[in-house]
Structure 1
Amino acid sequence: MSDQLALFDKVRPEPEGLRYAADFVSPAIEQELILGIQTLPLQPFQFGEFEGKRRVASFGFRYDYDFHQLKRAEPIPAWLAEIVANVEMFVGPATRIQQVLCTEYGVGVGIGWHRDKPHFDEIFGLSLGSACKFRFRKRSGKTWDRFKIDAEPRSIYMMTGASRQIWEHSVPAVEAPRYSITFRTMTNGPDLRTPA
Structure 2
Amino acid sequence: MTQLGLFADPRGGPAGLRYTGDFIEAAVEQALIGRIAALPLQRFQFGAFEGNRRVASFGYRYDYSLQMLTEAEPIPDWVLPVARQVEAWAGLASGSVRQVLCTEYEAGVGIGWHRDKPQFDKILGLSLGSACKFRFRRRNGDRWERHTLEAAPRSLYMMDGEARSRWEHSIPPVESRRYSITFRTMNSE
Which interval holds the TM-score relative to the shorter structure?
A: over 0.9
Distance across 1 between alignment mates of 2:136 and 2:154? 20
Q: Match of 1:62?
A: 61
Q: Match of 2:29?
A: 30
| Offset at residue 162 of structure 1 (A) | 0.3
- CA distance change for structure 1 residues 141 and 93 in 2, over 3 Å: closer, same or farther? closer
| Offset at residue 14 of structure 1 (A) | 1.4
- One-letter code of the match for 1:42? L
* SS class of match (2:78): helix
- One-letter code of the match for 1:120? F
Give the number of the structure whose alpha-carbon radius of gyration is greater.
Answer: 1
| Offset at residue 50 of structure 1 (A) | 0.3
Distance across 1 between alignment mates of 2:159 and 2:116? 10
Any conservation in 2 of the 1:111–1:172 contact (CA below 8 Å)?
yes
Q: Is the aligned partner of 1:146 residue 2:156? A: no
- CA distance change for structure 1 residues 11 and 188 in 2, over 3 Å: closer, same or farther? closer
Distance across 1 between alignment mates of 2:108 and 2:89? 31
Aligned ranges 1:69-84 → 2 under 5 Å: 69-84=68-83
Deviates more, 1:91-100 or 1:42-51: 91-100
Gaps of 5+ in 2: 1-7
Instruction: Work out the number of aligned pairs and report it.
Output: 181
Q: Match of 1:164?
A: 164
- CA distance change for structure 1 residues 108 and 93 in 2, over 3 Å: closer, same or farther? closer
| Offset at residue 129 of structure 1 (A) | 0.5
RMSD between aligned alpha carbons? 1.3
Q: Percent identity?
A: 61
Q: Which has the higher helix share?
A: 1
- For residues 137-166 of structure 1, what are the alpha-carbon distances to aligned partners after superposition, in whole Å with 9 as ceiling and x for unaligned? 000111100001010000000000000000
- CA distance change for structure 1 residues 172 and 16 in 2, over 3 Å: closer, same or farther? same
| Offset at residue 100 of structure 1 (A) | 0.1
- One-letter code of the match for 1:67? L
- One-letter code of the match for 1:15? P
* SS class of match (2:66): coil
| Runs of 4+ more than 2 Å apart | 9-13
| Offset at residue 11 of structure 1 (A) | 7.3
Gaps of 5+ in 1: 1-8, 190-196
- CA distance change for structure 1 residues 11 and 59 in 2, over 3 Å: closer, same or farther? closer
TM-score normalised by length of structure 2: 0.93
| Offset at residue 10 of structure 1 (A) | 6.2
- One-letter code of the match for 1:53? N
Distance across 1 between alignment mates of 2:81 and 2:75? 11
Aligned ranges 1:90-129 → 2 under 5 Å: 90-94=89-93, 96-129=96-129
